[in-house]
Structure 1
Amino acid sequence: MKPLLALMLLLLHFPSNNTLQADIIDDLSVQFKLGNSKEIAKSFAASVELIIIDQEDVYSKAQAEQILKDFFVKNPPNKSSIIHRLSTNPNYRLGIFSVNTKTGKFRVTITLKKNTANIFLITELRIEPDKE
């Protein structure tokens, strides 16, 4: 009986790969609520297409982190919720969040693609004023 219990606990401790992949959207939503550009940037690809309000370009990981940090300084977030997630494709993830800040509400769209190491990385990050 004890070996079976140990196996069950081990399986609960290490979720399946699909669960881990879906969790990146949840984790990013939490980091947006916290305004944690450093943690978000850990999921950036080497270059990121960044669209923040009307500023759009492709940036290096370090540049994109700094631009996101500046956004959070100007717009301190206090709430983030997931509006939509797409996780049916094994190589692609999409998350859309509603982020409330002290200056207004924003819609955040994140596109992630799986790299050669089987890790999802952010290739596009879009922050737009929410039209609601």
Structure 2
Amino acid sequence: MMKLKYLPILVLLYLVPSVCLAGPIDKIADLIKQGNAHELSKFFAASIDITVLENTNVYSKTQAELILEKFFKENKPLSATVLHRVNSSATFNYTVLLLNTDKGKYRVAYTMKEVEKEMVVIELRIETEKT
């Protein structure tokens, strides 16, 4: 009986480090998997290069959020898997995800760069996955 008393504390101690240590790459991948454009936009640079399918442009944070919100409404995310990540530099990261949605599979690539001591997304590309 005494042993079970401390079980919840042990479980919390086990889980907390993995949650706290999740870097920006994993947080962004998780937000894409959730289809959460609002929280995702908090990681965007002031202006961001966005490509959604065939449309490419540089947008403000707010515009980029609206574009992704529309994409996620039209393509409800079901799962996301990290295919490739380059995080060997402390000031530059590149990640490729495979995003599975209710309408099909997409390849999502995002580039992060350190700006004013904070990692921000400077480019995000969503393309149809070629099988």
If the length of structure 2 is used for normalisation, what is the TM-score? Answer: 0.83
Q: What is residue 99 of structure 1 aligned with on the other side?
A: 99
Separation in structure 1 between the aligned mates of residue 25 and residue 126 of structure 2, nearest angstrom? 15
Q: What is residue 118 of structure 2 aligned with on the other side?
A: 119
Separation in structure 2 between the aligned mates of residue 74 and residue 97 of structure 1, nearest angstrom? 18
The SS at the match of 1:70 is helix
Could you tell me which runs of 5 or more consecutive residues in structure 2 were left unpaired when the two chains were aligned.
Answer: 1-12
Separation in structure 1 between the aligned mates of residue 72 and residue 113 of structure 2, nearest angstrom? 24
Q: What is residue 108 of structure 1 aligned with on the other side?
A: 108
The SS at the match of 1:33 is helix
Separation in structure 2 between the aligned mates of residue 26 and residue 123 of structure 1, nearest angstrom? 16
CA deviations 1:80-129 (Å, max 9, x no partner) are: 0100111111210111100000000000000010012x110000000000
Q: What is residue 34 of structure 1 aligned with on the other side?
A: 34
Letter in structure 1 aligned against 2:32: F
Q: What is residue 84 of structure 1 aligned with on the other side?
A: 84
The SS at the match of 1:28 is helix
Q: What is residue 6 of structure 1 aligned with on the other side?
A: none
Letter in structure 2 aligned against 1:52: V
If the length of structure 1 is used for normalisation, what is the TM-score? Answer: 0.82
Q: What is residue 75 of structure 2 aligned with on the other side?
A: 75
CA deviations 1:23-82 (Å, max 9, x no partner) are: 211111111111000111000000000000000000000000000000000000010010
RMSD: 2.0
Separation in structure 1 between the aligned mates of residue 90 and residue 35 of structure 2, nearest angstrom? 28
